[in-house]
Amino acid sequence: MWSTAAAVSFLIAVLVAPALAVLLRLGRSPMSLVQRMLWGLAYLLVRLRWRTRWEGSLPALEGRGGVIVCNHRSSVDPFFVQTATGRKVHWMVAREYCEHPLLRWFLWICEVIPVGRGGIDTAATKAALRIVEAGGLVGMFPEGRINMTADLLLPIRPGAAHIALKAGVPLVPCFIEGSPYDGVPSSPLFMSARVVARFGQPVDCRLPPDGVVELQAAQAIMRRWAAEIARLAEQPDFAVEFAGRQWKPTEEELAQAMSARRASA
């Protein structure tokens, strides 16, 4: 009898503990009711489905804006960062996803920033600047697309550093390891995983002194970001490359990368 009661109590504790954790994290959250509900679902997914653990913590930037910059291995990468904080993180998301009939509502509720894949998107940059200057958080993937190769990072663009420089806010590195992905945005929901999210030291971003080109300053910041990502990934010798404005892998290259990823899984 006692062992049965103990087993039942343990089962209830296992089921209730995640719910209590969610309520505690959201107690003073500025999110709307619907956003809190989605946050709770995401928290349960990352903890129970993808067995996520966080190493280090997202720096407390209370009352101050910041740009969280991550490597990109899966369509659900934002979940692993968003559930590390009770604050809103406004992710910059490719415009085609924001216009997709099945994703449009969800991304609108999440208050993402639609952005074009190629080159500089002035409207998206201005929207991100307004958020961080008002003390909010913006999340960005400088690779511009999901990395399906064996390389630590795809060629990157310096847009995140430009925003941080103009707003004078920190740039926070985050390395996500083990994200589930099998070629389509919904695939992680049908996959188990063991994910680790590691937060690095914030990079201080200030406008360059007179005579220093902003692009050079932004690239220097992104090199520091990439070096911190390489440290978190335990690949200190990795050398990052910058993408040209029109850089874009072909469909054949993407298919080959996905095949290689499946073969190594």
The reported pLDDT for the residue numbered 4 is: 54
The reported pLDDT for the residue numbered 13 is: 44
The reported pLDDT for the residue numbered 58 is: 84
Give the other-Cβ count within 10 Å of 209's Cβ: 7
Give the other-Cβ count within 10 Å of 194's Cβ: 11
* Residue 32 belongs to a domain: no
Average pLDDT taken over every residue of the chain: 84
The reported pLDDT for the residue numbered 261 is: 54
Q: Given the structure tokens 């504790």, which residue do they identify?
A: 13
The reported pLDDT for the residue numbered 110 is: 95
The reported pLDDT for the residue numbered 246 is: 55
CA-to-CA distance for 87 and 84, rounded, in angstroms?
9
pLDDT band at 245 (very low <50, low <70, confident <90, very high): low
Domain that holds residue 199: 51-264
* Residue 13 belongs to a domain: no
Composition of the chain by helix, strand, coil, percent to 5: 45, 15, 45
CA-to-CA distance for 39 and 51, rounded, in angstroms?
16
pLDDT tens per residue, range 132-160: 999 999 999 999 999 999 999 999 999 99
Per-position b or e across 64-73, b if 16+ CB within 10 A of its CB: ebbbbbbbbb
* Residue 29 belongs to a domain: no
How many domains are there within the chain?
A: 1
Whole-model pTM?
A: 0.82
pLDDT at 35 over 80: yes
pLDDT at 11 over 80: no
* Residue 20 belongs to a domain: no
Mean of pLDDT values over 108-125:
86
* Residue 46 belongs to a domain: no
The reported pLDDT for the residue numbered 6 is: 45
pLDDT at 7 over 70: no
In sign, the C-alpha dihedral spanning 158, 160, 166, 171 is negative
The reported pLDDT for the residue numbered 265 is: 57
The reported pLDDT for the residue numbered 219 is: 93
CA distances from 205 to 67, 222, 246 (A): 10, 10, 26
The tokens for 122 are 């002035």
* Residue 15 belongs to a domain: no
* Residue 132 belongs to a domain: yes
* Residue 172 belongs to a domain: yes
| CATH code for the domain of 87 | 3.40.1130
CA-to-CA distance for 42 and 78, rounded, in angstroms?
10
Q: Which residue has the higher pLDDT, 265 or 63?
A: 63
- 73 close to 176: Cβ distance less than 8 angstroms: yes
